[in-house]
Structure 1
Amino acid sequence: MKILNKIATLFLMSLISISLVHAQTSRKDKKAAHAAEIKSMVEAQDYVFDANYVTPMRGISRSLNSPYDLVISKDTITAFLPYFGQAYQAPYNPTDGGIKFTTTKFSYNSKVGKKGDWTITIKPTDRSISNWRDVQTMTLSISTDGYASLQVISTNRDPISFNGTIEKRDHKK
């Protein structure tokens, strides 16, 4: 009877070991697949930065509950982000608060870091005040895991930073 208990225990231990090794391999495979997907989107300039946390230069950092994003494609940048901080010039239209614009005129520079992360610099070159507002530079730092931070530097406002994730762009919109 003792031998049967030992055999059953060994069998159970080997099953647990096999399932743990399989789970670790599956996690590694999923992580590698996710990193490859992020790399593909960033290199294709076809993704969305989904902001979920904001850090103004002055004031309190806070979570964002509404959907705010920066949509990147090869030919268009669309920003729909909030702004908290000091503005040195009021918007022409009071409902135009935040960082909201769509432009097809911009420079896009991407640098790959040593760990495979990216630093992307976007500079709108469209100087139409109704569309471009006052954004000078947007610097997007993206990790291989898909986490990202965005720093926005404006002419007439204090700098502001956002944290979030990189997501697939919805081509239906």
Structure 2
Amino acid sequence: MEILVKKWAKQAFLIVLVSFLFNTSFAQTTRKEKSAQKEAEVKGLVESRNYVFKAEFAQPMRGGSRYITPDYDLTVSKDSLVAYLPYFGRAYIAPINPQDGGVMFTTTQFDYNMAEKKNSWEIVFNTRNAKDVQKMYLSVGKDGYATLQITSNSRDPISFRGYVQARKKKA
């Protein structure tokens, strides 16, 4: 009887071990497939120049970092760049209109320079007629999370963290 129990225990152990190894390798394959799919999606967005950077977190040069509402974004298309972002920090020239306090502009005159790195895409926007904004640096990771840094003529630099997503189609 004792021999049967030992055989049964060995078989049960082997069954549990094999099923554990199978489930682990299956989960890793699924994770890798999802990661590869997300990477291809993000690459397509960045290369097509047709996406939205959704800002979630603002990091001014001075003062504390803060979460922001999901309404703020930078919309990129081949022919235009639309920024609707808040600003926190020191402005060296105060805006005449208090409604002009953020980083808000629409321009069709900009350069889009992209370089692919090991784990990200580095994009530099040079704006020619956007009020107060010199350059914007967008670093997009393969997973879609991104950091946007803005340098200005009359304000301290500010950074935003968020993610890129496809632009919504207009109805």
What TM-score results when the alignment is normalised by the length of structure 2? Answer: 0.91
Amino acid of the residue matched to residue 84 of structure 1? F
Map of 1:134 onto structure 2: 132
Instruction: Say which of 98, 108, 111 aligns to 1:94.
Output: 98
Cα RMSD, aligned residues only: 1.5
Alignment partner, residue 121 of structure 1: 124
Asked whether the equivalents of residues 54 and 70 of structure 2 are also in contact (C-alpha less than 8 Å), the reply is no
Provide the rounded CA distance (Å) in 1 between the counterparts of 2:10 and 2:122: 57
In 1: Cα distance, 2:24 partner to 2:76 partner: 39
Rounded to whole Å, the distance in 1 between the matches of 2:26 and 2:161 is 33
Deviation at 1:89, TM superposition (A): 1.5
Distance 1:51 1:76 in 2: 18
Aligned counterpart, 1:68: 72
What's the offset of the Cα at 1:151? 0.8
1:70-93 per-residue CA deviation (whole Å, 9 max, x = no partner) reads 111111111111100111122232
TM-score by length of 1: 0.90
Which ranges of structure 1 fall in alignment gaps of 5 or more residues?
Answer: 127-131
Deviations 1:127-147 (A, max 9, x none): xxxxx3211111111121212
For the residue of structure 2 that corresponds to 1:30, the secondary structure is: helix
Equivalent in the alignment of 1:160: 158
Which residue, out of 73, 85, 90, partners 2:89? 85
- Is 2:27 the counterpart of 1:27? no
Aligned match of 2:12 = 8
Q: Where does residue 149 of structure 1 map in the other structure?
A: 147
1:53 aligns with 2:57: yes
Fraction of identical pairs, as percent: 47
1:171, 1:92 → 2: CA distance?
A: 35
**Structure 1 outlier segments of 4+, above 4 Å:** none
Partner of 1:171: 169
1:44 aligns with 2:22: no
Aligned counterparts of 2:122 and 2:19: Cα–Cα separation in 1? 45
Query: How many pairs does the alignment contain?
Result: 167
Structure (1 or 2) with the larger CA radius of gyration: 2
Question: Could you say if the C-alpha distance between residues 116 and 9 of structure 1 is closer, same or farther in structure 2, counting changes exceeding 3 Å?
Answer: closer
How far 1:109 moved relative to its partner?
A: 0.9
Which shifted more, 27-36 or 7-16? 7-16
> How big is each residue's C-alpha offset from its partner over 1:137-164, in whole Å with a ceiling of 9 and x where there is no partner?
1111112121211111111111111111
Look up the equivalent residue of 2:93 and give its one-letter code.
Q
